[in-house]
Amino acid sequence: MQIKFKSPDTVFQGNRGECKRADFVIVADTNKKKVILCIEMKAGKGGSHTDIIGQLKGAQCFVAYCREIGQSFWEEQNFLRDYECRFVSIKNIKIPKKTTRIDPTHDFPSKIKILKKSGSSFQFNDLVQGQR
C-alpha cells in the first residue's frame, strides 16, 4: 500500500532541513526480524552526503511520528517499538551494474548503506542486515 503525505513545508519553514524526507519508508515483519527501511534514491552521483542524511533524518522523524500516533491514538503502547530502522541510499541508478563495498552498519541516518548498482535488483535481506 502506498500512502502520500502532505509536504511538511505547510508547517515548517525548512531553514534547517526539517522539511526534507526520504523517497520510501518500508515497514516489514519477516518473522525473523522487524525492520523499517528508510530509502533515498539518487540518479547518477546526485545529492550531497549531507543532503541525503537530511532526507533520511526526515524519514526517521516520520517513523517517530507514526510510533506516537499508534501509542497515543490507537492505545498500542508497543506500536513499532520492536522495529529496527535501517537507512539506505541507492545511488547511480542509471549506470552499468557495479558492485561496491558496503558498510554493514546502517542503523542511524548518518550511517547510510550506500548501494551503487544499476540495472539489478537488491535482495531484501541485504538491505535489512545490521552489523555482523
For 33-47, what is the mean pLDDT?
Answer: 85
What is the predicted pLDDT for the residue at 102?
Answer: 44
In a domain, 5, yes or no: no
pTM for the complete prediction? 0.68
For 80-101, what is the mean pLDDT?
Answer: 73
Work out the pLDDT band at 132, boundaries 50, 70, 90: very low
- Within 10 angstroms of residue 130's Cβ, the number of other Cβ atoms is 12
For 91-98, what is the mean pLDDT?
Answer: 58
In a domain, 97, yes or no: yes
In a domain, 10, yes or no: no
In a domain, 85, yes or no: yes
Q: Which domain holds residue 114?
A: 17-128
For 101-120, what is the mean pLDDT?
Answer: 60
What is the predicted pLDDT for the residue at 32?
Answer: 86
Give the C-alpha separation, 22 to 8, whole Å.
12
Structurally, how many domains does the chain consist of? 1
In a domain, 56, yes or no: yes
Work out the pLDDT band at 114, boundaries 50, 70, 90: low
State pLDDT tens for residues 64-81.
999 999 999 999 999 999
Q: Say if residue 52's pLDDT is above 70.
A: yes
In a domain, 11, yes or no: no
Q: Greater confidence, 85 or 126? A: 85
Q: Is 93:68 a contact under the CB 8 Å cutoff?
A: no
In whole numbers, what is the pLDDT of the chain averaged over residues? 78
Beta-sheet strands, E only, within 1-132: 24-29, 34-41, 84-90, 113-115
